[in-house]
Structures are given as structure tokens and as C-alpha cells.
Structure 1
Amino acid sequence: MSAPSTLGERIAVAEELIERAEALSGSRKGGLEGGAKLCNRLKAELKFLHKVEAGKVAVKESHLQSTNLTHLRAVVESAENLEEVVSVLHVFGYTAGSGEKQSLVVDVVADGGHAWVKAIGRKAEALHNIWLGRGQYGARSVVEQAEDFLRASRQQPVQYSSPRVLFAFYNGVSGPVAEKLREMGVAVRGDIVAVEAPEGPRPGARESDGEGPAVLQAARVGRENAVASLAFPTEVKVDVCPRVNLDITTLITYVSALSYGGCYFVFREKVLTEQAGRERKEPVLPRLEAFMRGKELFACESAVRDFRSILDTLGGPGERDRAATLVGRIQVVPDQPSDRALRLVASSKINSRSLTIFGTGDALKAVTMTANSGFVRAASNQGVKFSVFVHQPRALTESKEALATPLPKN
């Protein structure tokens, strides 16, 4: 990623990046979380550059070189190169080693949340010298930043596994820095460049180490001396959670007549007609079966008891037969909500039944399948994020078909 050399080139780059950022957001259903923030930051940079162009702001050339544009360009390019990007410029909270609450900005959250990417546009030489202790006062090395990322990721598990941390270097990284990051468990993307190390102590050396005064000289690092180029991993290795907890909405959806071809009706109930229309456009059962395949299936006693009660009232014969088969595949376990679930405060979206079902899944370290997105959001707003697989709901409709208007099947 070569840096633009003139003011006009920087303006052109900013305009192009705004278009690319808007395309990223527009290409994702419901938009991209943080996409508006990214676009606004790029527009602010463009506004600043236009002021410089008009002579309203006087800045040195060196200041222009150090604008946020390089970093934002790296963020856009990272988001374009990764799969299942869920957010950009996402702020995570975590507890530092000192016990203080801290926040961390992750440039790109990808692979459905399983990968955290820090995009770095600074030059390899500057990064290396900061690591050696030759940066400006207060400048933190990428190794120190990596420690923060790793600590925060351990406190923000996704499906009970810590997200993998990737550092993407768009202006290269020295071999020693890249090697240190990999030793720490950070994946590295970018050009690995050679370094001409001066005489002097190693990073972190003290006079008591016998290496003389801890006075460090700047190292020479050149992009032209690239010795390797590392691409983004084509696939981030994820420890897939082998356990699935089914809530009542999933049990109903799985056996619903709508999910088995009974979606070609106009029902008397508007909500059922709407669900039937969505089912014709996007069948839900294949998604459920794909997620459940090869995993242990669990449901708590409360979920199964209430599911059977609903079936007795609303279920048709086919739905009841499918329910018997499904329950036979499931390990029914006692209600055992986790401690953090029990700390939730009851509300219109958080009732005792949902708390028990999701809390039991949490205690089992299982991913809870659900169509109850309202509970998931309400719990998250109270600081409790459950590992979930959210899908569209389907109601029991077989007993309603006799009074419904059939539709032609294409």
C-alpha cells in the first residue's frame, strides 16, 4: 500500500475510500456495524484535506503524511479481504492486568466474530524503532498493543473460544517484530522486511544486564528489503463448539408444518401468512440442520415440558410425530442456569423461562439456538452476552391449514 505523495493524490484516495466503505456497508444485509463510523471518519479526513487545499489550514508536509488516512485505508482494505465481516472500529471493554477497566478498538471483526484484526499503516522502520524504545515519549509498540488485544480477546469469547488476533501491516513489518508477535500467538499479514540492526542492547535491556547503558540507536528498515509476504489466512482456525442447546422457539420451528412444505397457504392469522411468505423465500430448516449436524443436542426440562404443552394445544399430527422424533435425539437435562444468567434483572424481554433456558445452555457451554432475539438483545444490554445461533421463527400451523387458502406451488 504505497502512500499518496501529493495533496491531490490524498484527496483522490479519500474520495475513493469513502466509496469503498459505503459499498462495504451496502453489501451487507442490515448494513455493517461501524460502517457509518468509518465513513464519517473518512469524510472528516476529506474535509480537512479540502481545507488545506483551499488555504484555510496551514500545515507542514510532515503533518499531512501522518494523517489518519493511512490507517483508515488499511481498515477498508482489511474489511475487503476477509470473510464474514460483522463490524469495523468496534469498541470492546476489558479488564487490564492492573484491574482497571479499559477499552480497545478492533479495526475489523471478521469470521463471524472469531477474528479480530488490527490494521496498521505505519512504516516498518518506525514500528521497529518504537519496539526498540526509540519512539516518541509515550509511544506504544505493536508488541504492547498485541498484549492488550490478547488479554481482551480472552475476556470476549465467541462460542466459548477466544477470537484469534491478526495484525495486518500495510507498510511492512520487520522480521524480529513479526517473529515476536507470532511467538505471542498473533497472526501476521504483510511484507516481512529485513532490518539492519545497529550496535546496542536488545529491547528492554538494562545496565544491570551487563549490556551497557540502555541507550538504543535507531535501526534501518527498508520496504525494498522485503524477504517474505504473508497473506491473510484463507481460513481462520476456529474451535467449533460441539454442544447445542435448543430453546422452545427452535423446537417449534424445527417441527412446524411451515418448515416441511406447508408454507403455500394464506392463513387467517396475519403473522402466520407472513411467516409462510418468508419460508417460501428462505427456508429455515436447512440452516437449522446444518448448524446441528454432528453436535450434541441438549434441552432443559423446562423447555421440553413447555414445548410439549404447546404441542398438545396447537400441534397437528405431523408436527407431533416430528416432535417425538426430535426429542428422542436430544439429551434432556435438569434446569441449571449459570450464575451470570441469574444476575439478570427481570424485564418485559427477560422472563424466568427464558432465563432458565439460556442460562442452562450457558452452564453447559453450549450454543443456544433461538428465534428469541429480543431476549438476546436485552441480556446483552445488561452486559451478559450469550453464545447463540439466531434464526427466523416458525409457528405451529398444521391445525390451521383447514381454514387457510391454498396457494399454487410453482
Structure 2
Amino acid sequence: MTPPPNATDAAEVQRALARCRALRDRLLRSLPPSKLSPPARRTLLRLVDAELRFLSRLSSSALSHPIPNHLSTNLGYLESIARVLFHPSVLAVSRVCKPLRPSSSHVDVVATLARAPVWFLVSDRNPHHLPWFGPKGLHARVERILAAARSAGALTPASVLFVFSSGLADEAASRMVNEFGAVETDFFGGSDLFEELEEGWLGVRAKESKVFEIKIDSNCGGDGVVPLGVVEDEVEVGSGHGVFGSLISKLSPPGGGETVEVINFDTTALVAMVSGISNGGCERLLKAPEDEMRARFKSNYEFVMAQVISELQNPILAELEIAVAGKKGIICESVRSEFKELIAMCGGANEKLRAARLIKCLLVVPDNPSARVTSLPTTRKIDLKNKIVFGTGDHWHAPTLTANMGFVRAISQTGMSLLTIEHRPRALTGD
């Protein structure tokens, strides 16, 4: 039996709709919030929703209005962006499908890969429709992107990765290598992105993809495994007992010049580790008379009690233990100074003891922020103090453990990808 007019077109649109819905569901269900900045997530979902609306309109009219030639959508491009985002080594995504100032060059993904800032340029075009020459050819596009990357100042990446999801013709691939010094990488490793769907669609396969990397700035990259010299004399530190003792026992010892993976702590992280709230003081605070607690914490009463409830529901040190396990903890001189002042003014006897033990487990490094963080304009939200703290972590290619999400958001809004690990805040209680 001959299919009705446009039935083939309608079936193709329905398949595209199923893929688009699956993409949206996967992004909402499986992409960790910590991987994407909120603006990047909103941009991506807005693009997917626009594609869904387009395909829905097309579906409702497909049987009565023929679809000219091949169905042309942005779905393959969006699926290719998602493949990059779901890669386990792609972290701290600050931009998706937006131009970067001041060059206004369109970059598909700005992220961190192997502890280094990178840009991704993604193409889902048929390789036979990717001309090398001409103003819109691949050669001109690569030249524009490389020029923008090298003049991006604080946003200069360590490398630019060009992802050709549908492959690249042999001649163009050869020219990428010979004319731009690109290196072809096995970025996806032949993996698939999506699971099998009920409709029978198997998702986007990576086997045809070609990915080329071009190095830009060799000074802003790093694999997070760096040699650390001894800044202070090594001190023998007992792990102690309880959750705090368990936490600090997971840190790599502070002494020695061995090559290790490091994690940077800001003051909020140190306070959270030693706080009475995090170390068994919640029940005592809850049982104390409310008027006594209000007099003690004044305007911070609601803030502190919210932390107590949060701690009872989900203890924080167990989370931090996972984040720091096997890593060498570092703090810069500014953090040590600020932490000691806070403990002296607000810490109780037990908090002071824990603080002293914690400091002995950490390596204190000089204030030495990276050039890219230093070059960001100092503003009310991107203040000098935090540029020093987070920039020193960036200098060591280390993520910074922090509850200071205002600063993290401000950095993300500049377009910079900066490695951070968020923790819930905790206050000193005088314990």
C-alpha cells in the first residue's frame, strides 16, 4: 500500500521530536547542577525548548504541508553540545552557545578540561558541506577563533577543541594538522551519549566524530597533579577521633615535595570543618532556650539555626571527606591569617583545638594568584581578597572548596571557567 502524502515527512519529524524530548529529559535528569553555571544551563534549555516548539509546529502541519528537501533542524548540533557537556572530564562550564567579549566570537562551550581552561567549537554539519576556503570556510573560521583566543586576556584558554560530530573530510583534517598544528584526539573514546529509547532510537554515536585540539597558552593549563615544595616544617598530626578526625585523616600529609593532587580551601571551608555545628553540637543548640540563643547570635540567629537543621538532615563532614580524600590541602597566607583572626574572636575552646589541628594538616603557600584571575577587573563582587584566594588555587590548578557562591557566580558571569567545589556554609558557635 502506498503511504499517504507526506507520511514519510511526518514520521521523520516525529523521530526528531522524540530525540529532542529525550535530549531535554536527559539534560534535566542527568546533568549535575554543579557542572554548569545557572546562566549556561538556562541558555542551553532555552535553545532546546525553541527546537521543541519548532518541531512541534512542524509536526502539526507535516501531513498537510510538505517539508522541503531534507528536514533541517538544530537538533544534531544541540545533541553534539550535550555530548561535550556529559563528558566526565569537562567541568566548570561557564558559557554555552554564546559570544565572548570583547571579540564577540561565538564559542559553543567554555569549560575546564584536565584542570585547564578550554574552548569548544562544535559542528554537526555534513563533512562534505564544510568548505575549507572562502570567507565562511573552515580555514577562515579557525583563524578567527584562534585570534580571539590569543587576545582574550583573562579568558584566554589553554587550548581550543574543534569537535566535528559528523566527521571531517580527509583533506580538511590534514590541513587542520599541517596549517594550524592541530592534534587529533580520541576525546569521546567511541562512547555513545544516550540510552536506547522506547521509540527505538539509539542516540548519537561518537564513532564518526573527529576532535582536534590546538594549544593556545601553555602557561594556564595543568592536570591538577603538581609538585609542591615544603613551605613549613612537617608536623606529625594524629587523626584523632570522630567525624573531624576521620576527615583530616583522609588528607594527604602536608610535608614532602612529592607530586600530588591538590585542593585549595578558602576561609568558609575551614570554618565549616571546625564549626561546632559540624561536630556534634546541633542537639545542644536546639535544646538551649531560644532567648539565650537569640542573645548569643543576635541577627545571625535564623542563619545559624537553619544551618543546624541542615546539619541534622545531611551532615556536612561526610560530604567534605569525599571531596578531600587523597588530596593535599593547601591554603594561602591570606586565608590562614583571616582564619586565625576569626577563630581567636569567635571560636570556642573545642573549635580552637580543631582549628589548630586542621592548620597542621594543610600546606600554607604564598599568596600567588594566577595571571588570568589577577587580570579580571576588581569590582564589588570580584573583590581583591577573593581574587587572591581563588587565584592562588588557580595558580596550583586546584579546585577551591568554598561556600562563597556570590564570588563564584560573579566569576562565571565574566565567561571564565574556574574550578570550584561548593559546600554548605557553617558558622562558628563558640563551642
CA contact (8 A) 2:150 2:156 kept: no
Per the alignment, residue 320 of structure 1 pairs with 352
Q: Choose from 88, 104, 108 the match for 2:106.
A: 104
Read off the aligned partner of 1:165 and give its amino acid letter: L
CA contact (8 A) 1:368 1:387 kept: yes
Distance 2:323 2:332 in 1: 19
Distance 1:157 1:393, change over 3 A: farther
Distance 1:14 1:336 in 2: 51
User: Pairwise mapping of residues 213-292 of structure 1 onto structure 2 (< 5 A)?
Assistant: 229=207, 239-240=223-224, 242=226, 243-264=262-283, 267=286, 268=293, 269-292=301-324
> What's the offset of the Cα at 1:249?
0.8
Distance 1:20 1:150, change over 3 A: farther
Q: Choose from 88, 98, 113 the match for 1:91.
A: 98
Read off the aligned partner of 1:239 and give its amino acid letter: D
Q: Choose from 388, 393, 408 the match for 2:420.
A: 388
Per the alignment, residue 163 of structure 2 pairs with 167
> What's the offset of the Cα at 1:285?
3.0
Per the alignment, residue 336 of structure 2 pairs with 304
Q: Choose from 116, 120, 126 the match for 2:123.
A: 120
Per the alignment, residue 187 of structure 1 pairs with 185
Distance 1:277 1:301, change over 3 A: same
1:361-393 per-residue CA deviation (whole Å, 9 max, x = no partner) reads 456665433211112323554677654333221
Distance 1:152 1:396, change over 3 A: farther
Distance 2:394 2:423 in 1: 18
Return the structure number with greater relative CO, CA threshold 8 A, min gap 6.
2
SS at match of 1:389: strand
Distance 2:409 2:48 in 1: 26
1:2-41 per-residue CA deviation (whole Å, 9 max, x = no partner) reads xx99421332133213312321332146573433222233
CA contact (8 A) 1:250 1:370 kept: yes
Distance 1:186 1:157, change over 3 A: farther
Read off the aligned partner of 2:47 and give its amino acid letter: L
Per the alignment, residue 13 of structure 2 pairs with 11
Q: Which runs of 5 or more residues in structure 2 are unaligned?
A: 1-5, 191-205, 212-220, 227-261, 287-292, 294-300
Read off the aligned partner of 1:251 and give its amino acid letter: L
CA contact (8 A) 2:333 2:367 kept: yes
Distance 1:121 1:335 in 2: 44
CA contact (8 A) 1:158 1:387 kept: no
Per the alignment, residue 26 of structure 1 pairs with 28
> What's the offset of the Cα at 1:82?
6.0
Per the alignment, residue 45 of structure 1 pairs with 54
SS at match of 1:138: coil
Distance 2:78 2:129 in 1: 18
> What's the offset of the Cα at 1:262?
4.0
Distance 1:176 1:42, change over 3 A: same
Distance 1:355 1:167, change over 3 A: closer
Identity of aligned residues (%): 26
User: Pairwise mapping of residues 69-84 of structure 1 onto structure 2 (< 5 A)?
Assistant: 69-76=75-82
Read off the aligned partner of 1:90 and give its amino acid letter: C
Distance 1:76 1:49, change over 3 A: farther
Per the alignment, residue 136 of structure 2 pairs with 139
Read off the aligned partner of 1:303 and give its amino acid letter: V
RMSD of aligned residue pairs (Cα, Å): 4.7
Distance 1:6 1:277 in 2: 58
User: Pairwise mapping of residues 55-74 of structure 1 onto structure 2 (< 5 A)?
Assistant: 60-61=68-69, 64-74=70-80
Read off the aligned partner of 1:25 and give its amino acid letter: L
> What's the offset of the Cα at 1:294?
5.2
- TM-score normalized by the length of structure 2: 0.61
Distance 1:285 1:276 in 2: 13
Distance 1:264 1:272, change over 3 A: same
Distance 1:316 1:394 in 2: 14
SS at match of 1:104: strand
Distance 1:342 1:111 in 2: 21
SS at match of 1:173: coil
Distance 2:146 2:7 in 1: 35
SS at match of 1:34: helix
Q: Which is higher, the Rg of structure 1 or of structure 2?
A: 1
1:157-182 per-residue CA deviation (whole Å, 9 max, x = no partner) reads 99997366251423x43344445556
Q: Choose from 27, 44, 51 the match for 1:35.
A: 44
Q: Establish whether residue 330 from structure 1 lines up as the match of residue 358 from structure 2.
A: no
Per the alignment, residue 198 of structure 1 pairs with none
CA contact (8 A) 1:113 1:163 kept: no
> What's the offset of the Cα at 1:110?
8.1
SS at match of 2:104: strand
CA contact (8 A) 2:378 2:384 kept: no
Distance 2:285 2:318 in 1: 23
Q: Which runs of 5 or more residues in structure 1 are unaligned?
A: 96-100, 193-227, 400-410
CA contact (8 A) 2:368 2:391 kept: yes
1:86-112 per-residue CA deviation (whole Å, 9 max, x = no partner) reads 5784325267xxxxx132231696869
1:188-235 per-residue CA deviation (whole Å, 9 max, x = no partner) reads 67999xxxxxxxxxxxxxxxxxxxxxxxxxxxxxxxxxxx946799xx
> What's the offset of the Cα at 1:332?
3.5
> What's the offset of the Cα at 1:324?
0.9
Distance 1:238 1:43, change over 3 A: farther
Read off the aligned partner of 2:224 and give its amino acid letter: V
- TM-score normalized by the length of structure 1: 0.63
Distance 2:395 2:95 in 1: 31
CA contact (8 A) 2:347 2:428 kept: yes
Distance 1:239 1:355, change over 3 A: closer
